[in-house]
Amino acid sequence: MKKQLAAALLAAALGTTIVGCSTAGDTSQKKEAAKADQAAIPVEIAQPARKELLARYSGTATLEAEADADVIAKVQGEVQRLLVEEGDVVRGGQLLAVLDGRQLRLEVAQASAELAKLERDYRRQIELNERGLVAAGTFEGLRYDLETLRAKHDMAELQLSYTEIRAPFAGVVARRSVRLGQTVQPNAVLFRVTDPSPLKAQVFIPERELKRLQPGQAAAVQVDAVPGKTFLARVSLVSPTIDTQTATFKATVEVTDPSGDLRPGMFARLGIVFERKPEALQIPRVALVETDGERSVFVVLNGVARQRPVETGLADSGNVEIVDGLVGDEQVVIVGQSGLKDGNKVRVVTLQNAVANTVAKST
């Protein structure tokens, strides 16, 4: 009985030892795995995509009207009638205001009477001159007086016409600077008329871009005053000369605004598209690593970071085209690549998971 009991106790002890050793082994393996996982550098990845890529020049400018002019008084006079207000749409030549022209009408009437009298005298002198009854010098002097009086009459009529203030072209009354009953002086600004269609923007571009830009290229315009909306535009003019002081050239962009939301003077951000590729292989620009002028990216292969040299092409909106070095099915590191070396072990995470883990550990 004692021998049987001893055997049973020995077997139980051995069993406990075996189980204990097994549990300790599993825990050790888990710890080693955890250490290895902790040693791997966390990175975030993205896969290259093939989609349209636009190469554009971005700049800022102020919107300007195609035609914009101050309407000034050319004669002195009291404002008797005001026919338009700010914001009114006017036709070219439309009457905007009328000045008091009584004095000028009297001057026209006086000049007309004097001219009529002198013309009758001149016609009589013609007959006498043909008969040789008038000295040649006297006849020539009379003809000179007639021409002078005609010019005086025409000038009086022209001055009288200036009492009618008219729009120089079709557009919108942007500003009225005169009041009813006010006596205005010559060269006083009465109105400002602007033609907002089309609006234009002049942008000054570095000379290195001169060969890329040409009239007819598409552009897009955004303004802070109309958030969330993009207006179509096109390049209408590219200056052939370079400003030597700024090393820039001027490009004029014509903006299409069928909705009428835009106004002259608005600050605009514009992008001129000078090249378009419909199926460009592209990655986020942040994935690029530049060393001694050479560009490369890190790709993840079986949990290991591998550095690959790449050749880039067009760039726009945070993305860059990869011309050589990638085929499109790689996992490219876009976060964490700055501290990587070729052959480092990595652990793929997402920014959302990383933040969640950080919050969980802090709580």
pLDDT in tens, the chain (363 residues): 434 434 443 344 444 444 444 444 555 555 554 555 557 899 999 999 999 888 888 899 999 988 889 999 999 999 999 999 999 999 999 999 999 999 999 999 999 999 888 888 777 777 666 666 666 666 677 778 888 889 999 999 999 999 999 999 999 999 999 999 999 999 999 999 998 778 999 999 999 888 889 999 999 999 999 998 999 999 999 998 999 999 999 999 999 888 888 888 899 999 998 888 888 999 999 999 998 889 999 999 999 999 999 999 888 878 999 999 999 999 999 998 888 999 999 999 975 444 334 334 444
Beta strands in 15-170 (DSSP E): 41-46, 49-72, 77-82, 89-90, 95-99, 164-166
Helix-strand-coil percent breakdown of the chain, rounded to 5?
A: 30, 40, 25
CATH for the 102-161 domain, from 1.10.287, 1.10.3470, 1.25.40, 1.10.10:
1.10.287
- Domain range annotation of the chain: 41-50+279-362, 57-64+198-278, 74-99+163-192, 102-161
Taking the whole predicted model, whether its pTM rises above 0.85 is answered as no
| DSSP label at residue 345 | B
Q: Tokens 């040649």 identify what position?
A: 136
CATH architecture, domain 41-50+279-362: Beta Barrel (2.40)
CATH of domain 57-64+198-278: 2.40.30.170
Give the type of residue at 109: A
Quickly name the fold that domain 74-99+163-192 has: OB fold (Dihydrolipoamide Acetyltransferase, E2P) (2.40.50)
Tokens of 42: 């966390």
